[in-house]
Amino acid sequence: MKPPRKITALAGGVGASKLLLGLYGTMDPRDLTIIVNTGDDIILHGLKISPDLDIVTYTLAGVIDSAKGWGFRDETFHALKRLAAYGRANWFNLGDRDLATHIHRTALLAEGKTLSQAADSIRIALGVKSRILPMSDDPVPTIIDSNEGALHFQEYLVKRRAEPVVRGIRFVGVESARPAPGVLEAIASADRIIICPSNPLISIGPILAVPGIREQLQAHKQKVFAVCPIVAGKSLKGPSDKMLAQLGHAPTAIGIAKLYAPFTATFIIDPADKAQASAITALDMKVAVFPTVMKTLAQKRKLARALLSSSFPV
Amino acid sequence: MKPPRKITALAGGVGASKLLLGLYGTMDPRDLTIIVNTGDDIILHGLKISPDLDIVTYTLAGVIDSAKGWGFRDETFHALKRLAAYGRANWFNLGDRDLATHIHRTALLAEGKTLSQAADSIRIALGVKSRILPMSDDPVPTIIDSNEGALHFQEYLVKRRAEPVVRGIRFVGVESARPAPGVLEAIASADRIIICPSNPLISIGPILAVPGIREQLQAHKQKVFAVCPIVAGKSLKGPSDKMLAQLGHAPTAIGIAKLYAPFTATFIIDPADKAQASAITALDMKVAVFPTVMKTLAQKRKLARALLSSSFPV
């Protein structure tokens, strides 16, 4: 069997970017298409901010502040300080260089361009060779219903530091959202589809909720490999574990496997969770046990190489 | 006669700000109202930029880069460099702190606030005690008809460095523009009205062109003092001299005096131009000969004190 050449990845932000960076450095990046969550996009100070698109783009461009996981390296925050002095909200960090991205994107949208076109303009300017597609050009804001009321996801995550108790998640307007141009085709034409280790509820969840995408994955289920974002009952990144538990899902590899089983052929779990392998196999998925904790570039590339191997899982 | 207490000034940007800084430090700044040209406002990258409002505000707030005459002191330009990397125009300098002003103003306008309200929000946040009023809340872009075609004033001045030959000046939409709230009242209620040494064509000109303002000045002509922006045939600042000549006006004190005579009682010229005094008196204006070149703060305050004296001109 030939190794897979064309790869399509579904991604959120920070967690996904670790694996994407591994893939980007291991394969021909022009054969990589990334479908990115835009449910946590937000408009602040009149600017359209697409956090996951930017995290993925900055990561692959090599300009990201890798300690923070977002924003430009060596960033300054002079504008944000002044915005705060003008009485504007400053709970969402906006660096000076990062603001240029939001200004550019907002200006393109105001000129009638789509979010896809803006994302393409930005990734090309930053020298990223892979295609980066928003899940949809239509706004689909993720709203968290919580014990403090309805919060935009960024308010929940950044402003309220994921402290409110989650009672429900809504993707507003998703019923009428359409997959961005190229999304369904990228799933259909891929040799392998990789679901990155992102929050299943608010990173992968919004992508799946756009009408047509989940169905397309189901139609191409045999090509779908999902990397479990939970290791030993804890999120690799962010509040996935807490959110899963608050919404009645098990914050475990099995819990994620149940969510992904309808459209996933191969599920990758960390050796820490290998005891759950047989239960996951019972969900009618192959299980690959492989290190999924990616702190170093070597670890990212090792997982990427495994996912790019025709013999995986062995 | 009591010295004038309430002062209303008509102002462009850099040239006017020298005198305004003198006034601000010499009188009770709460008695100073400044009516500012907004003809050279421009929208760039979707952001509403009001250069003269900002220059006046930053100057009085003590945050201006006084070497440049615009922008914040110790400013950085990280966002602008990135905007350029995204293929956006970068001929108009936008500092990182300065961008916050434009973002804030644009957001306020998008929320339904007026330009006056935005200007007030910005000057209050920066601690400026004088009222700063745009000439109008309606956009009145200054277009320069030149040998290179029609150019927005900022394109003519900044992008093309005032090199094109000026054939005409238009304030687009001015026929239907209204003076901003408080403008006509500030002229009527002032003890003294000061026309700052700004470009008569593209700084004071747009203010005068807003229907009602010139008439209001004429009705209060006896209170109007105009500081000549030309000394010894040269602009104190900017391309006034060249523009005047290209449009058939004499780039001299007399040339300016002819433009201002219909609504000005007292005309202040520099000692360098005292030979023109009698010709200006013949235009039915009093002439005051007083140093108008303001390089130092002491010079700014000296002219301000003279303009605030009940016995001026002596």
Q: Which domain holds residue A302?
A: 7-41+129-140+172-307
> Region A207-233: what's the mean pLDDT?
97
Nearest-CA residue of chain A relative to B45? A107
Beta-carbon count within 10 A of A69 CB = 17
Q: What is the CA A235 to chain-centroid distance, rounded?
A: 14
C-beta atoms of A86 and B101 within 8 A? yes
Residue A101 lies in a domain: no
Query: What local confidence, expressed as pLDDT, does residue B236 receive?
Result: 77
Per the prediction, chain A carries an average pLDDT of 96
DSSP assignment of A218-264 equals: HHTGGGEEEE-SEETTEESSTTHHHHHHHTT--SSHHHHHHHHGGG-
Which phi and psi (to 5°) does residue B152 adopt? -60, 145
Query: What local confidence, expressed as pLDDT, does residue A275 receive?
Result: 97
Please name the helix (run of DSSP H) or strand (run of DSSP E) that holds residue A215, with its range, or none. Answer: helix A213-219
Share of chain B above pLDDT 70, in %: 100
Contacts of A152 (CB under 8 A, 6+ apart): A42, A141, A142, A143, A144
> What distance in Å separates the CA atoms of residue A102 and residue A41, rounded to the nearest whole number?
11
Q: Are A204 and A12 in contact (CB under 8 A)?
A: yes
Tell me the nearest-neighbour CA distance from A88 into chain B, angstroms.
8
Nearest-CA residue of chain B relative to A45? B107
Beta-carbon count within 10 A of B289 CB = 16
A80 to chain B: which residues are within 8 Å by CB? 100
Which phi and psi (to 5°) does residue A134 adopt? -65, 150
> What distance in Å separates the CA atoms of residue B39 and residue B207, rounded to the nearest whole number?
8
- B contact test, residue of A44, A45, A63, A86 with most B CBs within 10 A: A86
CB burial string A161-182: b at 16+ within 10 A, e below? ebebebeebebeebeebebbeb
**Residue B314 confidence class, pLDDT cut points 50, 70, 90:** low
> Region B286-290: what's the mean pLDDT?
96
CB burial string A284-298: b at 16+ within 10 A, e below? ebebbbbebebeeee
Encode pLDDT of B113-148 as tens digits: 999 999 999 999 999 999 999 999 999 999 999 999
Nearest-CA residue of chain A relative to B89? A104
Tell me the nearest-neighbour CA distance from A19 into chain B, angstroms.
26
List Cβ<8 Å contacts ≥24 apart for A185-188: A186/A8, A186/A33, A186/A35, A186/A131, A186/A133, A187/A8, A187/A35, A187/A213, A187/A216, A187/A217, A187/A220, A188/A216, A188/A219, A188/A220
**Residue A2 confidence class, pLDDT cut points 50, 70, 90:** confident
Query: What local confidence, expressed as pLDDT, does residue B2 receive?
Result: 85
Share of chain A above pLDDT 70, in %: 100
**Residue B237 confidence class, pLDDT cut points 50, 70, 90:** confident
Tell me the nearest-neighbour CA distance from A251 into chain B, angstroms.
41
> What distance in Å separates the CA atoms of residue B254 and residue B261, rounded to the nearest whole number?
10
CB nearest to B79's CB, from A81, A100, A106: A100
Apex A59 CA angle, A58 and A60, nearest 5: 95
> Region A72-94: what's the mean pLDDT?
97
Instruction: Give the β-pairing of A42-44 and A47-49.
Output: antiparallel
Residue B71 lies in a domain: no
Q: Are B55 and B68 in contact (CB under 8 A)?
A: no
Single-letter amino acid code for the residue at A237: K
Look at the block and give the residue holding tokens 């605030």.
Answer: B308
Q: What are the start-end ranges of the E strands in chain A?
A: 7-11, 32-36, 42-44, 47-49, 131-134, 142-146, 149-152, 166-171, 192-195, 224-227, 230-231, 234-235, 266-269, 286-289
C-beta atoms of B121 and A86 within 8 A? yes
> Region B150-162: what's the mean pLDDT?
94
> What distance in Å separates the CA atoms of residue B256 and residue B228, rounded to the nearest whole number?
7
**Structure tokens given for B135:** 């000439």
Residue A259 lies in a domain: yes
Q: Quick one: which of A23, A29, A36 has its CA closest to A210?
A: A36
Query: What local confidence, expressed as pLDDT, does residue A87 receive?
Result: 97
C-beta atoms of B110 and A46 within 8 A? yes
Residue A221 lies in a domain: yes
Nearest-CA residue of chain A relative to B84? A100
Query: What local confidence, expressed as pLDDT, does residue B4 receive?
Result: 94
The helix/strand/coil state of A98 is: helix
Residue B292 in this model has a pLDDT that exceeds 70: yes
Please name the helix (run of DSSP H) or strand (run of DSSP E) that holds residue A82, with its range, or none. Answer: helix A78-85
Residue B108 lies in a domain: no
Tell me the nearest-neighbour CA distance from A70 into chain B, angstroms.
16
Per the prediction, chain B carries an average pLDDT of 96
Residue A53 lies in a domain: no
A96 to chain B: which residues are within 8 Å by CB? 76, 78-79, 96, 99
Query: What local confidence, expressed as pLDDT, does residue A273 receive?
Result: 97
Helices (H), A126-203: 153-154, 183-189
Nearest-CA residue of chain B relative to A75? B78
Q: Are A200 and A260 in contact (CB under 8 A)?
A: yes
C-beta atoms of A100 and B83 within 8 A? yes
Contacts of B50 (CB under 8 A, 6+ apart): B38, B41, B105, B115, B119, B134
B61 to chain A: which residues are within 8 Å by CB? none
Q: Is B178 exposed, middle or buried (0-12, 13-18, 19+ CB in 10 A)?
A: middle
**Residue B274 confidence class, pLDDT cut points 50, 70, 90:** very high
The total of structural domains in chain A comes to 1
**Structure tokens given for A250:** 């098990």
Q: What is the CA B197 to chain-centroid distance, rounded?
A: 8
Nearest-CA residue of chain B relative to A86? B125
> What distance in Å separates the CA atoms of residue A130 and residue A32, rounded to the nearest whole number?
5
Encode pLDDT of A240-275 as tens digits: 899 999 999 999 999 999 999 999 999 999 999 999
CB nearest to A87's CB, from B82, B86, B125: B125
The helix/strand/coil state of B269 is: strand
C-beta atoms of A97 and B82 within 8 A? yes
CATH code for position A25: 3.40.50.10680
Contacts of B191 (CB under 8 A, 6+ apart): B4, B5, B6, B7, B223
What is the C-alpha R_g of chain A?
A: 19
Query: What local confidence, expressed as pLDDT, does residue B1 receive?
Result: 75
Residue B69 lies in a domain: no
Query: What local confidence, expressed as pLDDT, does residue B53 receive?
Result: 98
B106 to chain A: which residues are within 8 Å by CB? 46
A101 to chain B: which residues are within 8 Å by CB? 82, 86
- A contact test, residue of B49, B64, B78, B80 with most A CBs within 10 A: B78
**Residue A237 confidence class, pLDDT cut points 50, 70, 90:** confident
The helix/strand/coil state of B79 is: helix
Q: Are B311 and B291 in contact (CB under 8 A)?
A: no
Tell me the nearest-neighbour CA distance from B263 into chain A, angstroms.
38
Encode pLDDT of B34-89 as tens digits: 999 999 999 999 999 999 999 999 999 999 999 999 999 999 999 999 999 999 99
Instruction: Give the β-pairing of B230-231 and B234-235.
Output: antiparallel
Single-letter amino acid code for the residue at A146: S
Residue B112 lies in a domain: no
Tell me the nearest-neighbour CA distance from A76 into chain B, angstroms.
8
